[in-house]
Amino acid sequence: MRDIALHSVAPHAADAGPGLLRAWIDRAAELHPDKPYIVSADDSRSLSYGELRWRVRGIAAFLRAQGIATGDRIALAADNSIEHVVCYLGVMAYGATICTVHVEMNRPHLPRILTQLRPRLVIHDEGIELPSTAPRLAIGRCDAPATESFFAAVDPDAGAESFLAETTARDDGVIFFTSGTSDTPKGVVLSYREQLGNIMPMTDGFGIAGEDRIYDFRSFNWASAQLFGVLAPLARGATLVMAKKFSATRFFDDIRAHGVTVAAGNPTVINMLLASQVKIARQDVPSLRFITSSSAPLLHEEWRRFEERFGIPLAQGYGSSETAWIAVNPGHAPRFGSVGRPLAYHRLAIVGAGGRVVPPGETGYVELGAWEDNDYRYLGDDGSVRVNSRGRMRTGDIGYLDADGHLFLTGREKELIIRGGVNISPVEIDGVLMQRAEVREAATIGVPDAIWGEEVVSYVVLTPGCSLAPDELMRFCAARLPPFKAPKQILLRDGLPKSERGKLDRKALVAEWMRARG
């Protein structure tokens, strides 16, 4: 099928608002009404583009009947499902603000989150207790709605002209919350322009086309999966093959059964597949072009081992909740070790401590700014929107651009180890440890030291069945790193702490080290 995206709309255009989203839906429904937009790998249900348009129009009519206006917030507290995606798209296409909440991840913070949001309506999975005085509706099933559910209240035949004409690209399109297992989650506020304007550059970078079938199991309550799993297929007229959660035993079976061409992933998934007993090669999944990796740095050794074992290319990408996708590797020719070329509209630069742009090959802080008049915003405790930076912002990552413009990340600013006044990137030391075949995972941290301020300590998870003494690993590192970077202690662990999104939790390791030493 040919690409149906509306290329005439530039990513920075003033009309990248809900009208653009509706245009994507209408175009796909007109050209291929019976083509599946979503296929559920868990229960084999599907939703066509024609039905998507029908249901989105019904949601718009329902919201208008409730008096929902531009800027009004609709909270969506639900796990991955066809209904979750339809609600997400329906609210945005109407012109209100969709607020996605990961209940399991943020359960301790739900009272605060709902107080901040002050939603006009809460749509939720059945059985969830939500501390909110706002009207609530269980989401139900769109194909068999239960009484008093959201989809029972929505009439898809209620007319097609209910969308809010006054909502613009600068209005709030989506609010979502970062992690929350230990830190208080931040509410990130994105305009329609920030969210939808990212889709065409990102899909161009990855090489996503209308023929693709994209497999995504990540929570659609977070930015990366919303952009790549939900909006990218829609913009291109492709198909989303959706799973509720990742399963190493089902991953390749789902890909093969549904003819998946591109699969989402992250470093944790890559490691779980490497640690699994799955025996598969590229010829066993002939439709699969590549697997993405994002949300955290993918170490060189993990990348190399995966491609050597499975013969399937990995295409690493990079983004943040505040900025959407920032850089991507093309699926057909990824640059090994890089997170890809920055998307041009972000105007990314590497800057030094004084804000000066540094030359290629020199490490500095990653800074970007898609639009000179853009505000990067968070949700305040009182529900108001607060500007964090204007025009340009630093992502908190450290890296460099090579001579060809590919971006390489070397660490996080807040994770730098400062030993004797010298900055050390823990990712570099992790990479050295991962050169040993016996090492499955590695994480390096800085711990307090009376003389140097901080000292280097590494935690290592060994490959099942392997035996390796910490002293041997320390000698291995000492032979490959300058003395001030080499770990002074290496501790073996059965696993490394990670967030729900698969990100390594170095803070938890620092806390563990401190507790062990009183």
Query: Residue 276: inside a domain, yes or no?
Result: no
* Token representation of residue 198: 């990212």
Q: What's CA 84's distance to the chain center, in Å?
A: 17
Q: Tell me the CATH number at 503.
A: 3.30.300.30
State the pLDDT at residue 501.
Answer: 65
Q: Which long-range contacts (CB under 8 A, 24 or more apart) does 505-509 make?
A: 505/181, 505/182, 506/415, 506/426, 506/443, 506/445, 507/182, 508/182, 509/443, 509/445, 509/459
The bridge status of strand 46-48 relative to strand 36-40 is antiparallel
* Token representation of residue 212: 């693709």
Task: Name the nearest CA neighbour of 490 among 431, 454, 445.
Answer: 445
The bridge status of strand 489-492 relative to strand 453-462 is parallel
Alpha-carbon gap, residue 121 to 468, rounded angstroms: 56
State the pLDDT at residue 303.
Answer: 92
The bridge status of strand 262-263 relative to strand 324-328 is unpaired
State the pLDDT at residue 4.
Answer: 47
State the pLDDT at residue 473.
Answer: 95
* Token representation of residue 210: 């209308």
State the pLDDT at residue 428.
Answer: 87
Residue-level length of the chain: 518
Query: Residue 85: inside a domain, yes or no?
Result: no
Query: Residue 427: inside a domain, yes or no?
Result: yes
Query: Residue 420: inside a domain, yes or no?
Result: yes
Task: Name the nearest CA neighbour of 397 among 455, 458, 322.
Answer: 322
Domain that holds residue 432: 416-516
State the pLDDT at residue 179.
Answer: 63
Q: Which long-range contacts (CB under 8 A, 24 or more apart) does 87-90 make?
A: 87/59, 87/123, 87/139, 87/150, 88/220, 88/226, 88/230, 89/21, 89/25, 89/52, 89/56, 89/230, 89/234, 90/55, 90/56, 90/58, 90/59, 90/60, 90/63
Task: Name the nearest CA neighbour of 120 among 173, 75, 187, 87.
Answer: 75
Query: Which stretches of the chain score pLDDT less than 50?
Result: 1-2, 4-13, 180-182
Domain count, the chain: 1
SS3 assignment, position 508 = helix
Give, as one character, the DSSP assignment of residue 163.
S
Distances in whole angstroms, Cα of residue 76 to Cα of each of 18, 67, 173, 472: 18, 18, 13, 51
pLDDT digits (tens, 9 = 90+) for 146-188: 778 999 999 988 877 799 999 999 999 999 998 644 467 889 9
Query: Residue 330: inside a domain, yes or no?
Result: no
Q: Is residue 169 within 8 Å of 17, Cβ to Cβ?
A: yes
pLDDT digits (tens, 9 = 90+) for 326-339: 999 998 888 898 99
Q: Name beta bridge partners: 246.
A: none
Query: Residue 392: inside a domain, yes or no?
Result: no
Phi, psi of 122 (to 5 degrees): -115, 125
Task: Name the nearest CA neighbour of 231 among 266, 194, 182.
Answer: 194
What is the pTM (predicted TM-score) of this model? 0.86
State the pLDDT at residue 3.
Answer: 54
pLDDT digits (tens, 9 = 90+) for 41-78: 999 999 999 999 999 999 999 999 999 999 999 999 99
Task: Name the nearest CA neighbour of 496 among 184, 177, 272.
Answer: 272
State the pLDDT at residue 52.
Answer: 97
* Token representation of residue 63: 């919201």
Query: Residue 471: inside a domain, yes or no?
Result: yes
Alpha-carbon gap, residue 72 to 173, rounded angstroms: 10
Query: Residue 396: inside a domain, yes or no?
Result: no
SS3 string of 165-183? CCCCCCCEEEEEECCCCCC
State the pLDDT at residue 8.
Answer: 37
User: Locate tokens 């799973």: which residue?
Assistant: 243
State the pLDDT at residue 354.
Answer: 84
